[in-house]
Structure 1
Amino acid sequence: MQSQNKFTSEFHQLDDINKKLLPLHDLAESADDIARSSRAEVDILKKQIEVIEEAANTAKKNPIYPQ
Structure 2
Amino acid sequence: MTGASGEFDQVIVASGPRPVNALAEPLAALGIPFTAVGDCTGPRKIQDAVHGGFLAALNCDQHQHGDAA
TM over 0.5: no
**Structure of larger gyration radius:** 1
TM-score, with length taken from structure 1: 0.33
Task: Flag the structure with higher helix content.
Answer: 1
TM-score by length of 2: 0.32
Higher relative contact order (CA 8 A, sep 6+): 2
